[in-house]
Amino acid sequence: LQQRQVSGQHSSRSRALQASGGSAGGGRSGHRSPSLSDREDMLLDSSNSGGAGGGGDFSHDSAALVKDRRRELHTQAEQKRRDAIKQGYDKLYELVGAAPSASAAGGAAAAGGGSGETNAKSLSKASILQRSIRHMEHLAKQKELQERELDKLHKEVMALKIMKMNYEHFVSSAGASGGAAAASSPQSQPLPEQVKFSVFQSVMDQLFAGFDRSTSAGSFAELSGCVITWLEEQCRPQTVHELSVQALQQVLTQYSQQQQGRQAPGNRL
C-alpha cells in the first residue's frame, strides 16, 4: 500500500511537469506562451490533481504561492490607482490653492473623535473639487467678458480707422483748396488775434444755442441726461466741422467788409 501511494505521488508530479513542459515546448515551437494567470491555473490544477493522488503538502504550497502572488499583484494595482488619484488631487490643489474650509474641517475632526481625520480628508478633497468648479466658472465668465471687451475694441478700432480716413481726406482736400485760394487771393497777410477770437466766439455761440434748447435743469438726473444727449447729437465731429466752417465764413465776410470800409476813404482821396 505504501509503495502504491509513493508511486501515485510520483506519477502526479510527473504529469504536472509534463504539462508544464509541454506548454513551454509549444511556446517555443510557435504557439502562444502561457500568461501568468494561465500558469497559476495550471499550478492550481496540478496541485488539485496532486492532492487527489496523495501529494497534499505540495498542492497546498503551490496553491498558497499562487494566492499570495495574486494578492500581491492586486495590492500593487490598487496602490498605483490610489497614487494616481492622489497626484491628481495634488495638481488640483496647486492650481486652485488651499481649500477655504480647512478650519471647518479641523472642527469636524475634533468633534468626530477617531473618524475626524477621515472626515477632514474627505472634506479637503470635496473642498478642492468645489474650488476647482468655482475656478472653472470664474474662468468661463472672465473669458466671456474678455470676448465682449475684445469685440468692443475691434469696433472702436474700425471707427477710428474710418475717422482717420475721413480726416486724411479732409486734410488733403482742404490743403489743395487752401493753396489754390492763397495763390489766387491777395488775402495772404497775417490776421489779428481778434479774428481768431471771433471765430471761437461764433462757434461757441452756436453750440450754446443748441445746448440751451436741448437741456433742462429740472433735476440733476434730467440735466445729466440732457447734457449727454446734447453731446452725442450736437457735438459730433461732422456737426462741429460744419459750425466751424460757417463761423469762418461769417468772420471772413465781416473782416473783408471792415477792410474794404477802411480802404474806401483812401480810394476817394
Query: What are the residues whose beta carbons fall under 8 Å from the beta carbon of 53, sequence distance 6 or more?
Result: 8, 9, 11, 12
Query: What are the residues whose beta carbons fall under 8 Å from the beta carbon of 70, sequence distance 6 or more?
Result: 40
Q: What is the pLDDT of residues 73-83, one digit of tens each?
A: 999 999 999 99
The three three-digit cell numbers of residue 128, written as one number: 478642492
pTM across the whole model: 0.34
Residue 173, number of CB atoms within 10 A of its CB: 10
Taken in order 60, 64, 65, 67, the sign of the CA dihedral is: positive
User: Angle at the Cα of 150 (from 149 to 152), degrees rounded to 5?
Assistant: 65
Domain boundaries, the chain: 2-24+34-96, 192-263
Q: What is the pLDDT of residues 146-195, one digit of tens each?
A: 999 999 898 888 878 887 887 787 778 766 655 555 554 545 567 777 88
Alpha-carbon distance 246 to 241, whole Å?
A: 9
| Section 202-229 average pLDDT | 84
